[in-house]
A and B are shown apart, each in its own frame.
Chain A
Amino acid sequence: MALSQERLGRYNPKKPMENRITDLGPRHFWQYFPPVIQKNYGKWKYHEILEPGVLVHVSETGDKVFTVRCGGCRFMTAENIREICEIADKYCDGYVRFTTRNNIEFMVDSPEKLEALKKDLQSRKHVSGSYKFPIGGTGAGLTNIVHTQGYIHCHTPATDASSMVKAILDELFDYFQSMTLPAQVRISMACCLNMCGAVHCSDIALLGYHRKPPVIDHEILSDVCEIPLVIAACPTAAISPTKLPDGKKSVKIKQERCMFCGNCYTMCMALPLADKEGDGVTILAGGKISNRITPPKFSKVVVPWLPNNFPRYPEVVRDVKKILEAYAKDARKYERIGDWAERIGWEKFFEKCDLPFTEHLIDDYRLQYDTYRTSTLFKYTEPAWEVSKAAGGL
Chain B
Amino acid sequence: MFEPKEPQKKLKYDELRIYTDEELNNYTEEELKEFKIKYDIPDVEELEKGPWPSFVADAKREALHRRKLPDDRLLIGKYVVEDTLGQLQLSFEHGEGHWKHGGIVGVFGYGGGVIGRYSDCPEKFPDIAHFHTLRVNQPASKFYDTDYLRTLCDLWEFRGSGMFNMHGSTGDIIFLGTITEQLEPIFFELTHVLQQDLGGSGSNLRTPSCCVGKARCEWSCIDTQDLCYELTTYYQDELHRPAFPYKFKFKFDGCPNGCVASIARADMSFIGTWRDDIIIDQEAVQAYINGEIEPNGGAHKGRDWGKFDIYKEVINLCPTRCMWMEDGKLMIDNKECNRCMHCINVMPRALWPGKDTGVSILFGAKAPILEGAQMSVLTVPFMKCEPPYDNIKELIEKVWDWWMEEGKNRERLGELIQRFGLPKFLEVLELPAFPQVVKEPRSNPYIFWKEEDVPGGWQRDINDFRSRHKR
Interface residues of A (CB under 8 A from B): 1-5, 7-11, 13, 16-17, 19-34, 37-38, 41-42, 44-52, 55, 57, 65, 67, 71-82, 84-85, 88-89, 94-100, 102, 107, 126-134, 138-141, 146, 148-157, 160, 162-163, 166-167, 169-170, 173, 176, 178-181, 184, 193-198, 200-201, 233, 235, 261, 263, 265, 269, 274-277, 279, 289-294, 296, 298, 308, 310-312, 333-334, 365-367
Residue of B nearest to A133 (CB): B53
Residue of B nearest to A107 (CB): B216
**B167 in contact with A74 (CB, 8 Å):** yes
What are the residues of chain A within 8 A of B99 when measuring CB–CB? Answer: 151, 153-155
**A178 in contact with B110 (CB, 8 Å):** no
Encode contact with A along B353-374: 1 for CB under 8 Å, 0 otherwise.
Answer: 0000000000001011111110
**A73 in contact with B3 (CB, 8 Å):** no
What are the residues of chain B within 8 A of A160 when measuring CB–CB? Answer: 88, 91-92, 97
Task: Point out the residue from A76, A95, A269 that lies within 8 Å of B166, measured CB to CB.
Answer: A76
**A146 in contact with B240 (CB, 8 Å):** no
What are the residues of chain B within 8 A of A128 when measuring CB–CB? Answer: 48-49, 54, 57
Q: How far is the CA of A94 from the CA of B4 in the complex (A)?
A: 21
CB distance from A321 to the nearest CB of B (A): 15
**B8 in contact with A84 (CB, 8 Å):** no
**B372 in contact with A32 (CB, 8 Å):** no
Interface size class of chain B, counting residues whose CB lies under 8 Å from the partner chain? 35 or more
User: Could you jot down 23 A-B contacts, CB within 8 Å?
Assistant: A3-B155, A11-B185, A19-B192, A21-B191, A25-B232, A29-B2, A29-B215, A31-B10, A47-B348, A48-B298, A74-B168, A78-B154, A79-B58, A79-B61, A88-B146, A96-B143, A130-B57, A198-B367, A261-B369, A269-B101, A289-B258, A293-B340, A365-B372
Q: How far is the CA of A21 from the CA of B340 in the complex (A)?
A: 45
Q: How far is the CA of A339 from the CA of B152 in the complex (A)?
A: 43
**B108 in contact with A127 (CB, 8 Å):** no
What are the residues of chain B within 8 A of A265 when measuring CB–CB? Answer: 101
Residue of B nearest to A275 (CB): B96
CB distance from B268 to the nearest CB of A (A): 15
Q: How far is the CA of A73 from the CA of B256 in the complex (A)?
A: 27
What are the residues of chain B within 8 A of A89 when measuring CB–CB? Answer: 146
B381 within 8 Å of A by Cβ?
no
What are the residues of chain B within 8 A of A81 when measuring CB–CB? Answer: 149-150, 152-153, 164, 166
**A79 in contact with B65 (CB, 8 Å):** yes
For the residues of A in contact with B, the DSSP-based class is loop
What are the residues of chain A within 8 A of B218 when measuring CB–CB? Answer: 44-47, 57
**B95 in contact with A73 (CB, 8 Å):** no
B145 within 8 Å of A by Cβ?
yes
B177 within 8 Å of A by Cβ?
yes
Residue of A nearest to B255 (CB): A291
B325 within 8 Å of A by Cβ?
no
Residue of A nearest to B170 (CB): A196
Q: How far is the CA of A44 from the CA of B302 in the complex (A)?
A: 25
What are the residues of chain A within 8 A of B232 when measuring CB–CB? Answer: 25-26
Which residues of B, 197-227, contact A by the 8 Å Cβ criterion?
A: 197, 209, 211-212, 214-218, 220, 223, 225
**B138 in contact with A169 (CB, 8 Å):** no
B47 within 8 Å of A by Cβ?
yes
**A3 in contact with B167 (CB, 8 Å):** no
Encode contact with A along B162-195: 1 for CB under 8 Å, 0 otherwise.
Answer: 1111111101000011000100111111011111
Encode contact with A along B56-89: 1 for CB under 8 Å, 0 otherwise.
Answer: 0111011001000000000100000100100110
Stretch at the interface among B259-267, B453-461, B462-470: B259-267
**A42 in contact with B8 (CB, 8 Å):** no
Say yes or no: A74-B166 contact (C-beta < 8 A), given A79-B58, A88-B146.
Answer: yes
**A10 in contact with B261 (CB, 8 Å):** no
Q: How far is the CA of A197 from the CA of B349 in the complex (A)?
A: 34
Say yes or no: A71-B53 contact (C-beta < 8 A), given A77-B61, A153-B133, A276-B96.
Answer: yes
**B261 in contact with A162 (CB, 8 Å):** no
Task: Point out the residue from B58, B194, B340 that lies within 8 Å of A76, measured CB to CB.
Answer: B58
Say yes or no: A26-B299 contact (C-beta < 8 A), given A10-B188, A193-B368.
Answer: no
Say yes or no: A82-B215 contact (C-beta < 8 A), given A140-B300, A166-B52.
Answer: no
CB distance from B379 to the nearest CB of A (A): 16
Task: Point out the residue from B16, B101, B373 that lies within 8 Å of A2, measured CB to CB.
Answer: B16
CB distance from B106 to the nearest CB of A (A): 12
CB distance from B381 to the nearest CB of A (A): 14
**B176 in contact with A152 (CB, 8 Å):** yes
What are the residues of chain B within 8 A of A49 when measuring CB–CB? Answer: 297-299, 301
Q: How far is the CA of A54 from the CA of B261 in the complex (A)?
A: 23
Residue of B nearest to A60 (CB): B218
CB distance from A233 to the nearest CB of B (A): 8
**B185 in contact with A198 (CB, 8 Å):** no
CB distance from A193 to the nearest CB of B (A): 7
Q: How far is the CA of A38 from the CA of B188 in the complex (A)?
A: 31
Q: How far is the CA of A181 from the CA of B305 in the complex (A)?
A: 10
Residue of A nearest to B319 (CB): A293
What are the residues of chain A within 8 A of B157 when measuring CB–CB? Answer: 78
- 4 new A-B pairs (CB below 8 Å) besides A75-B55, A79-B62, A179-B298? A65-B216, A79-B65, A82-B153, A163-B47
CB distance from A316 to the nearest CB of B (A): 14
CB distance from A292 to the nearest CB of B (A): 5
What are the residues of chain A within 8 A of B117 when measuring CB–CB? Answer: 153, 155
B18 within 8 Å of A by Cβ?
yes
What are the residues of chain A within 8 A of B8 when measuring CB–CB? Answer: 27-28, 31
**B192 in contact with A102 (CB, 8 Å):** no
B44 within 8 Å of A by Cβ?
yes
Which 10 pairs of residues, A with B, have the shortest CB-CB distance? A139-B299, A276-B95, A170-B50, A269-B101, A28-B4, A77-B62, A128-B48, A126-B57, A179-B302, A9-B185
Q: How far is the CA of A4 from the CA of B220 in the complex (A)?
A: 41
CB distance from A268 to the nearest CB of B (A): 8
**A126 in contact with B302 (CB, 8 Å):** no
CB distance from A304 to the nearest CB of B (A): 15
**B369 in contact with A193 (CB, 8 Å):** yes
Encode contact with A along B124-141: 1 for CB under 8 Å, 0 otherwise.
Answer: 000000010100011111
**B369 in contact with A30 (CB, 8 Å):** no
**A333 in contact with B300 (CB, 8 Å):** yes
What are the residues of chain B within 8 A of A95 when measuring CB–CB? Answer: 143-146
B335 within 8 Å of A by Cβ?
no
B341 within 8 Å of A by Cβ?
yes
Q: How far is the CA of A232 from the CA of B402 in the complex (A)?
A: 23
Residue of B nearest to A294 (CB): B319
CB distance from B142 to the nearest CB of A (A): 4
**A130 in contact with B54 (CB, 8 Å):** yes
**B156 in contact with A17 (CB, 8 Å):** no
**B298 in contact with A29 (CB, 8 Å):** no
B196 within 8 Å of A by Cβ?
yes
B229 within 8 Å of A by Cβ?
yes
What are the residues of chain B within 8 A of A184 when measuring CB–CB? Answer: 299
CB distance from A85 to the nearest CB of B (A): 4
| B209, B237, B342: residue with the most chain A Cβ atoms closer than 10 Å | B342
Say yes or no: A198-B264 contact (C-beta < 8 A), given A17-B108, A27-B196.
Answer: yes
Residue of A nearest to B159 (CB): A9
Q: How far is the CA of A311 from the CA of B298 in the complex (A)?
A: 36
Residue of A nearest to B263 (CB): A296
Task: Point out the residue from A72, A130, A200, A233 that lies within 8 Å of B49, measured CB to CB.
Answer: A130
Task: Point out the residue from A11, A77, A98 that lies within 8 Å of B163, measured CB to CB.
Answer: A77
What are the residues of chain B within 8 A of A292 when measuring CB–CB? Answer: 256-257, 340-342, 345
Task: Point out the residue from A26, A201, A367 that lies within 8 Å of B137, measured CB to CB.
Answer: A26
Q: How far is the CA of A51 from the CA of B57 in the complex (A)?
A: 28
What are the residues of chain B within 8 A of A195 when measuring CB–CB? Answer: 367-369
What are the residues of chain B within 8 A of A139 when measuring CB–CB? Answer: 296-302
CB distance from B135 to the nearest CB of A (A): 11
Q: How far is the CA of A242 from the CA of B368 in the complex (A)?
A: 29
Encode contact with A along B1-42: 1 for CB under 8 Å, 0 otherwise.
Answer: 111111010100001111000001000010011000000000
